[in-house]
Every structure is written in structure tokens, then in C-alpha cells.
């Protein structure tokens, strides 16, 4: 499992820049030839704006002669930036709040990189996921019959929906402890015998300073939660980002909410896992098929 990443770990460098007196035609040519989506506008080493592909397209769609326009005429002057030591969640929130796709990275007044939604999607695949509905449990019907073969007294779950199948707004929580025996059984079943998870002396010398649970074991609790939604839930895809380690023996809680019906019985869900202190350690989104439970004799 990875530690949280910073902007400097993901940003692109060097940054392509242009002066405000350059023509929009020149800017368009540089965007095309460089295969890039933006140019940061600088004057005497100071960032004064940004021009993007969208700005160029908007200009060329206007009536009249636009060839004489300069970058300064069309650039976005309200420049939103981020520091290189900010975490990726801060960058994502800034992009969403300002409805933009590019963030120049500024350190001590100097331009040191640029961060885009494309860069972030490699690390936070669900950056553009739908917003959860926010339905409270009291607004849904609690579904108490899990379609699982067995339950364990140590496991806890709450599922809200209907017995007929899932729909937008349905959600589920599932909690269990990740014991040492779970970690050892997972290592044997998966073949992931990384000493970080099994050898205390080895793990003490790593960045974590102790043994931690496998990241895939932690995210597997999401699958356990999905199994406790009404109906038969079948995975089509699962995208995840890992935000922090989980200690062996910790109780973790998976949260899943249905946020979009894609087609017929296919749904998109937001997914997350919290550690026992309530901090999010895994998040992402899943696409599933929800089939009816087959009749059994």
C-alpha cells in the first residue's frame, strides 16, 4: 500500500510558457506541435495567466478577424495555483471548486510544474465520479437479509435499499477486523508474501516502520460490502486509490453508495474504506451488474 502522494510527485515539469504579447495563432501552433493542453503566461518571470485549448477553440469560433488577437486578450487572468507540497486531495478539491483542469504549481513565487486532471486520473481514477446522493439511512428501507452463505458474529453490516434489487441512493456499510490470520491466509491464497506484511523485523526498516495489511486485502472489504446489497452483485470494474496504510488487527469499514444507473441493471457506485479511527484509507468507484437472486430448491 502506498503512502499519500504530493503534488510534486505527480506534476509535469518543465512547464511550457508564453508571453501575453504573443498571438493566439502562435499559441495554437505551440499547443498543437507540443501535444499539450495549456500554456502558462509569464511576464518577467511572474505567472499572469493561462491559455488553454478551450480558449483557443472559443476564439476561433467567434465571427470576424481573430488573427490579431494576443494571448493577453483571451487568457484566464484569475490564476488558480497549488503548492508542490500540497497533497493530491487538496489539488482535486481546488480543481473541482474552480471548475478547471490545469493547476500551475508555484513554489517561493516561481513556476515549478503543472498539474492536470489527466495527470491526476492516473492516481485518482474516480476524480470525476458522480456526487453521492446524500440520502440518509432514514430515507431508505433497511435491508436485513444478506444473500451470503454465512455471517460471522464479529462482522457488522447495514444495507439500505429494497429486496427487489439495487437502485440509485442505496448504500451499504460493512465492518470487520483484519487479523493476523487474515493477513497470513491472504498471503497464502494470493501468493503475495511480501515481507512488509509478514516479517516484523523487515517491516521496521521500511517507510511504515511496522507490518501493515495488504492493500488488496483492505480493498477486498468493499467486495464484502457489495455482497450485502440486495440481489446478486457482480463486479464489472473497480478503480481505487490508496490513501494510507492499515495496521494488522484494525477494524475497517467499507462504504458503498449507488450513484448512477448506467443501463438497465448496471450501476456505478462510489466506494471507500475507513480505518478504525474514521480516516479514509481507500477510495474509488465500481461498476456492477445487479442480477436477481436465483431460485434454489
Backbone φ and ψ of 140, nearest 5°: -120, 165
Q: CATH classification of 137-291 is 3.10.129.10, yes or no?
A: yes
* Per-residue pLDDT tens digits for 89-146: 889 889 888 889 899 999 998 999 999 988 887 776 655 444 444 444 444 555 555 6
Q: At what angle do helices 180-190 and 215-226 cross, to 10 degrees?
A: 100
Specify which residues 124 forms β-bridges with.
none
Round to whole Å and give the CA distance between 28 and 51: 9
The pLDDT > 70 percentage for the chain reads 88
Q: CATH classification of 7-121 is 3.10.580.10, yes or no?
A: yes
* Least trusted range by pLDDT, from 1-5, 163-167, 182-186, 236-240: 1-5
Residue 242 has pLDDT above 50, yes or no: yes
| Half-sphere exposure (Cβ direction) of 282: Cα atoms closer than 13 Å | 29
Residues of the chain with CATH 3.10.580.10: 7-121
Residue 253 has pLDDT above 70, yes or no: yes
Distance of CA 131 to the CA centre of its chain: 12
Query: Model-level pTM greater than 0.95?
Result: no
Amino acid at each position: 500500500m502506498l503512502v499519500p502522494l504530493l503534488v510534486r510527485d505527480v506534476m509535469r515539469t518543465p512547464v511550457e510558457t508564453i508571453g501575453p504579447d504573443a498571438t493566439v495563432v502562435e499559441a495554437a501552433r505551440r499547443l498543437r506541435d507540443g501535444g499539450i493542453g495549456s500554456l502558462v503566461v509569464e511576464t518577467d518571470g511572474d505567472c499572469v495567466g493561462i491559455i488553454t485549448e478551450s480558449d483557443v477553440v472559443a476564439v476561433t469560433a467567434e465571427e470576424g478577424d481573430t488573427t490579431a488577437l494576443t494571448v493577453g486578450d483571451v487568457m484566464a487572468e484569475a490564476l488558480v495555483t497549488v503548492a508542490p507540497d500540497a497533497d493530491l486531495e487538496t489539488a482535486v478539491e481546488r480543481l473541482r471548486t474552480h471548475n478547471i483542469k490545469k493547476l500551475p504549481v508555484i513554489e517561493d513565487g516561481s513556476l515549478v510544474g503543472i498539474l492536470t486532471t489527466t495527470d491526476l486520473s492516473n492516481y485518482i481514477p474516480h476524480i470525476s465520479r458522480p456526487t453521492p446522493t446524500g440520502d440518509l439511512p432514514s430515507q431508505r428501507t433497511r435491508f436485513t437479509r444478506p444473500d451470503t452463505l454465512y455471517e460471522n458474529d464479529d462482522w457488522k453490516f447495514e444495507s439500505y435499499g429494497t429486496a427487489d434489487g439495487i437502485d440509485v441512493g442505496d448504500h451499504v456499510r460493512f465492518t470487520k477486523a483484519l487479523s493476523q490470520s487474515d493477513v497470513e491466509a491472504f498471503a497464502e491464497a494470493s501468493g503475495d508474501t511480501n515481507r512488509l506484511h509478514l516479517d516484523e523485523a523487515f517491516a521496521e526498516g521500511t517507510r511504515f516502520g511496522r507490518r501493515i495489511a495488504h492493500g488488496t486485502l483492505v480493498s477486498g472489504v468493499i467486495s464484502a460490502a457489495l455482497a450485502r446489497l440486495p440481489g446478486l452483485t457482480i463486479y464489472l470494474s473497480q478503480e481505487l486509490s490508496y490513501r494510507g496504510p492499515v495496521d494488522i488487527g484494525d477494524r475497517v469499514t467499507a462504504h458503498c453508495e449507488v450513484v448512477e444507473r448506467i443501463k438497465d441493471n448496471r450501476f456505478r457506485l462510489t466506494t471507500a474504506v475507513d480505518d478504525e479511527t474514521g480516516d479514509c484509507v481507500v477510495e474509488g468507484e465500481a461498476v456492477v451488474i445487479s442480477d436477481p437472486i436465483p431460485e434454489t430448491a
